[in-house]
Amino acid sequence: MRRLTERGVTLAELIVALALSTVILAGACLVMLVVDRSYRRSIERIGAHQSLRAAASILPSELRQLDPADSDLGALSPTSITLRRFREFGALCALASSNDGQLVVTVRELTVLFGSPGSFAAGDSVLVFQDGDRSIGSDDRWGRAQITKTASGTCPGDSLPAQAPTIELHLTTADSALRHATLGAPIRAFTATTYTLYQSPSDRRWYLGMRADGSTIEPLVGPLKGADGVVFTYSDSSGKPTATVGAVTAVDVLIRGSPLVAQDGRSTYDSIALRVAVRGRHS
């Protein structure tokens, strides 16, 4: 028969052990809670930073290409800006008129040279470069047209394998001079786009949104601080604020992120300030 030689624990020892375990577990839970809260705040802060950085990379690229003196900017306000958003680029390699009076051009799509896929599409607005007197640049201009139809197209005499795809565009235009555009002339497609501060009806928070030519608004950056989450300021060549669209040479953008509540209850917010010199016009 086996003899019990090992000693058990007393009730008092058990109670003390349980109490100690409880204290240790409570402490561990507390650590976990604090760490988790801190982690969440960090993630929130990183998210806010990322959002602001997105604005810092998108808006300057859009703004730099504009020529405000030739209608690339539309309505301006402290909380919104309407502009032509350029998104496709090519060069004419053939030009003709169709039976219905439309202008039919074949275009070599050059956006691929930038490593970006892209395609002209029916409904796009386009600007076609027009060289007046080839010996001077002061009379150069861009004529506007609308794409009504696209088809596959080939540039005449293209015996070499084309490094850029080609496409045929049917254009309507009120600009009769476009019929005399020179071969090789650049063509750029754009969409009228508004960047504006708005309050989302779903979560009641403020965002910088993008609305492209009649479509619904989509959030681009946010949530933001509030009704003062975005401020656009426009300057002329002398650096003074201007409300004249054609005189704008620089755009300042101030974006304030959503408030972040610290442990002590104080709220702070991150912001980003951009100054973009518009480069679309050279004198």
Nearer to another protein, 163 or 202 (CB): 163
In which residue are the tokens 């504009």 written? 66
CB of 86 to another protein, least distance (A): 7
Token readout for 31 is 């650590």
Q: Which amino acid is at 42?
A: S
Nearer to another protein, 93 or 198 (CB): 93
β-pair partners for 231: 254
In which residue are the tokens 């990183």 written? 46
CB of 25 to another protein, least distance (A): 11
Token readout for 47 is 């998210």
Which residues make up the interface to another protein (CB under 8 A)?
20, 23-24, 27, 30-31, 34-35, 38-39, 42, 45-46, 49-50, 53, 56-57, 60-61, 64-67, 69-70, 72, 86, 89, 91, 108, 110-111, 113-116, 118, 127, 129, 131, 133-135, 137-138, 140-142, 158, 160, 162-164, 180, 182-186, 188, 279-283
Instruction: Count CA atoms closer than 13 A to 30's CA, side-chain side.
Output: 6
Nearer to another protein, 70 or 175 (CB): 70
Residue 219 and residue 214: Cα distance in Å, rounded?
Answer: 15
CB of 199 to another protein, least distance (A): 28
Nearer to another protein, 198 or 251 (CB): 251
Backbone angles phi, psi at 248, to 5 degrees: -70, 130
Q: Is 164 exposed, middle or buried (0-12, 13-18, 19+ CB in 10 A)?
A: middle
CB of 22 to another protein, least distance (A): 12
Residues in the chain: 283
CB of 200 to another protein, least distance (A): 26
CB of 183 to another protein, least distance (A): 6
Classified as helix, coil or strand, 223 is: strand
In which residue are the tokens 């150069």 written? 140
Instruction: Count CA atoms closer than 13 A to 202's CA, side-chain side.
Output: 5
Nearer to another protein, 186 or 219 (CB): 186
Q: Tell me 162's DSSP state.
A: P
Nearer to another protein, 42 or 77 (CB): 42
